[in-house]
Chains A and B, each alone.
Chain A
Amino acid sequence: MSKRMSTYYWMTIPAVLLFFLFLTLPAIQGVYYSFTNYNGFGKTYDFIWFRNYINLFTDNVVGDAYWFTIKFAVVVTIFVNVFSLLIALGLNASIKFRNFFRGIYFLPNILSVLIVGYIFNYLFSNVFTVWGQSLGINALSTNILGNENLAWIGVVIVAVWQSIALNTILYLAGLQTISKDMYEASSLDGAGKWREFWSITFPLIAPFFTINMVLAMKNALMVFDQIVALTNGGPGRATQSISFLIYTGGFEGGEFAYQSANSVIYFIVIAVISILQIRFLQRREMDM
Chain B
Amino acid sequence: MKENTKINWPINILVAIGTLIILFPLYMALTIALKDPQQMSQSLFGLPTKWRFDNFANAIEVTNFFQAFRNSALVTTATVVLTLLTNSMVAYAIGRNMERSKFFKGLYFYFVSAMFIPFPIIMLPIVKLTASLHMTNLVGLTILHTVYALAFNVFVYVGYIRSIPVALEEAATVDGASTWGTFWRIIFPLMAPINATVGILVCLSTYNDFLLPLIIVSDQDMYTLPLVQYIFQGQFNTDYNLAFASYLLAMLPMIVIYLFAQKWIISGVTRGSVK
Within 8 A of A (CB), among B241-275: 243-244, 247, 250-251, 254-255, 258, 262-263, 265-266, 269-271, 273-274
Specify which of A16, A115, A119 is in contact with B226 (CB 8 Å cutoff). A115
Question: Is there contact, CB below 8 Å, between B147 and A118?
Answer: no
Q: Is the CB of B116 within 8 A of A27?
A: no
| Sample (29) of A-B pairs whose CB atoms are under 8 Å apart | A4-B173, A15-B150, A19-B147, A22-B143, A23-B147, A26-B122, A27-B125, A33-B125, A87-B15, A90-B18, A91-B15, A93-B12, A94-B6, A102-B266, A119-B244, A120-B25, A122-B28, A122-B240, A127-B45, A161-B22, A161-B25, A173-B270, A218-B115, A225-B210, A243-B119, A246-B120, A250-B123, A267-B118, A271-B113
- The distance from the CB of B4 to the nearest CB of chain A, in whole angstroms, is 10
Establish whether residues B19 and A101, one from each chain, have CB atoms under 8 Å apart when the complex forms: yes
- A-B complex: 9 closest residue pairs judged by Cβ atoms: A26-B125, A263-B121, A26-B122, A11-B93, A173-B270, A29-B125, A30-B121, A246-B120, A112-B208
In the complex, whether B60 has a CB less than 8 A from a CB of chain A is no
Contact A27 B122 (CB under 8 A): yes
Interface check A140, CB cutoff 8 A: no
**Would B126 and A110 count as touching, CB distance under 8 A?**
no
Chain B proximity of A129: nearest CB distance (Å): 11
Residue of A nearest to B258 (CB): A110
The answer to whether the Cβ of B90 comes within 8 Å of any Cβ in the partner chain is: yes
Q: A270 on the interface (CB 8 Å rule)?
A: yes
Cβ-defined partner of A104 (8 Å) among B6, B23, B89 = B23
Report if B174 contacts A (CB, 8 A). no
Q: Does B111 contact A (CB under 8 A)?
A: yes
B12 with A208: CB separation less than 8 A = no
- Chain A residue at minimum C-beta to C-beta distance from B233: A118
Tell me if A95 and B8 are in contact (CB < 8 A): yes
A95 contacts B90, C-beta separation under 8 Å: no
The answer to whether residues A95 and B15 also contact, given A22-B129, A166-B269 and a CB cut-off of 8 A, is: yes
Is B97 engaged at the interface, CB distance under 8 Å to the other chain? yes
Query: A242: which B residues are within 8 A, CB to CB?
Result: 118
Interface residues of A (CB under 8 A from B): 4-5, 7-9, 11-12, 15-16, 18-19, 21-27, 29-31, 33, 40, 87, 90-91, 93-96, 99, 101-116, 118-120, 122-123, 126-127, 130, 161, 166, 169-170, 172-173, 177, 180, 208, 211, 218, 222, 224-225, 242-243, 246-247, 250-251, 256, 259-260, 263-264, 266-267, 270-271, 274
Determine the main DSSP class of B at the interface with A: helix
Confirm or deny: B195 has a beta carbon within 8 angstroms of a beta carbon on chain A.
Answer: no
Please state if B23 and A211 are interface contacts (CB–CB under 8 Å). no
Per-residue CB contact flags for chain B residues 130-147 toward chain A (1 = under 8 Å, else 0) read 000000000000011001
How far, in whole Å, are A231 and B92 apart by their CA atoms in the complex? 43
Q: Are A263 and B250 in contact (CB under 8 A)?
A: no
Q: Are B273 and A173 in contact, CB atoms less than 8 angstroms apart?
A: yes
Which residues of chain B have C-beta atoms less than 8 A from A40's C-beta?
124
**Residues of B in contact, count (CB < 8 Å):** 88
Does B16 reach chain A (CB closer than 8 Å)? yes
The 8 Å CB contact of A22, one of B147, B255, B258, is B147
Given contacts A12-B90, A112-B251, A243-B118, contact A104 B148 (CB under 8 A): no
Which one, A4, A15, A94, A243, contacts B90 given CB within 8 A?
Answer: A15
B167 at the interface (CB under 8 A from A): no
B110: chain A residues within 8 A (beta carbon)? 16, 19
Is A119 touching B247 in the complex (CB atoms < 8 A)? Answer: yes
Which of A94, A113, A115, A264 gathers the greatest number of chain B CB atoms within 10 Å?
Answer: A115
Asked if residues B258 and A173 are in contact (CB atoms below 8 Å), the reply is no
With A12-B93, A102-B266, A122-B244 given, name 15 new contacts (CB 8 A).
Answer: A21-B129, A26-B129, A29-B122, A87-B18, A91-B15, A93-B12, A99-B263, A112-B210, A114-B230, A119-B28, A127-B45, A130-B44, A169-B266, A259-B120, A267-B121
A270 contacts B273, C-beta separation under 8 Å:
no
Given contact pairs A22-B148, A25-B125, A106-B266, A211 touches B273 in the complex (Cβ within 8 A): yes
Residues of A within 8 A of B26 (CB): 107, 119
- Whole-angstrom distance from the CB of B25 to the nearest CB of chain A? 5
Q: Is the CB of B117 within 8 A of A23?
A: yes
